[in-house]
Copies of this chain bind each other. A is one copy, B any other.
Amino acid sequence: MSTVSPLAVPFPEAPHIAGATPRIARAGYKDWGRCDLTFVELTEGTTVAGVFTKNVCCSTEVELGREQVVLGRARALVVNAGNSNAFTGYRGREAVEAIMGQVAAHLGCEPSDVFVSSTGVIGVPLPKDKARAGLDAVFAAPECSWEDAAATIGTTDTFTKGAVATAMLGDKKVTLVGIVKGSGMIAPDMATMLGYVFTDAAVAAPFLQQCLSAASDGTFNCITVDGDTSTSDTVLAFATGKAGNTPLATFDDPGADAFAAALHDVCRQLAHLVVRDGEGAQKFIEIAVTGAVSDESARRVGLAVANSPLVKTAIAGEDANWGRVVMAVGKAGEPADRDRLSIGFGGTWAARDGQPLADYDEAPVAEHLRGQDVVIEIDLGLGDGCANVWTCDLTHGYISINADYRS
């Protein structure tokens, strides 16, 4: 791992999830002295939901995963680190199908019950022999911790990322553990955000999908490091059902709201961790948009600001340059009225209703911008739509990681 991000947070205490058993091994996809193959065995009856990259040049793993989640069943997750298997044509697809077949034979399940993700260098087909030997090794490996699993799915991440939440479904307590990897579209090779949530709750697959899609919209789809979208981005949620609750199938079921809230909480934590490991990040930036014509419009405005290199460099320079925020709002393509627009930093308005505040006091703003956690408030003054979006600043570190390198 490179120098740990200054925004890193420790891995949480992550308990065992009944019905989900992680193991790790070394397949040697790259010439590195670390485990790079993660295998999570899931009990019979485990349901699954997933959200995937919208990048049309997606990997075979994503194409297959989209088809598999429709079936709603899962018995295993395999994550290869060090080779993304993207842009590798039919040979890449053969490699994934070989993994699915080998795991299915081992567990006595359908190949479609085996979910595969790969992350790392692109354009090189995943070596089938290394995958085969790696799986043989991982089948024989002891159960590992979630922290070990989270470390093993990582590539250029500078710290290991996990999140935990619990919810009461009637008198049954259920636990959710999430792990994630990603830090921008990671250099030196194109990389990826991969996130996995495991819970012992019993949740029907369509409802799990409904909850995961909603949670992703407000979390993973509200973060950006550089506006670039990996060809392999994947978030999967697995529910083993071992907690013994009455299975959740709709929001009318007792505890369904609590479960959805816990899932949203885990996704939000994981999403923030990815931003905190953003390439070169020195500051964690929240963009809080209110007064938009709709929540979706607010999200788009927030992302336009979050993706603006000029806003991100201004925050890196601790410069309360609200003019750049105005510019980014204006280019979002969403309804906005210059003369109703207000911009603030950390609770202090710099401009209201389209004009700089006459009594604007920059001292508290300057103090706020010197911190690690920065909030930019944007009120559009048009409606009730709101959204929070998260990003990091754009620094010399980003350039060094992505440009000062020759493949």
Contact = CB atoms under 8 A, between A and B. Distances in A.
Contact of A229 (B229, B327, B396): B327
Contacts of A121: 323
B87 A123 contact: no
Contacts of A230: 327
A85 B369 CA distance: 26
A336 to B, nearest CB: 5
Contacts of A217: none
Contacts of A406: 317-319
Contacts of A330: 55-58, 229, 231
Greatest chain B CB density within 10 A among A326, A336, A396, A402 is at: A402
Interface string A380-407: 0000000000000111101110111111
A339 B58 CA distance: 10
Given A58-B338, A227-B307, A403 B313 contact: yes
A324 interface: yes
Interface of A: 54-58, 86-89, 121-124, 185, 187-190, 226-231, 307-310, 313-314, 316-324, 326-331, 333, 335-339, 341, 351, 354-356, 393-396, 398-400, 402-407
13 contacts: A55-B327, A57-B330, A87-B323, A89-B339, A188-B319, A190-B323, A227-B308, A310-B402, A313-B402, A316-B403, A318-B406, A319-B406, A321-B407
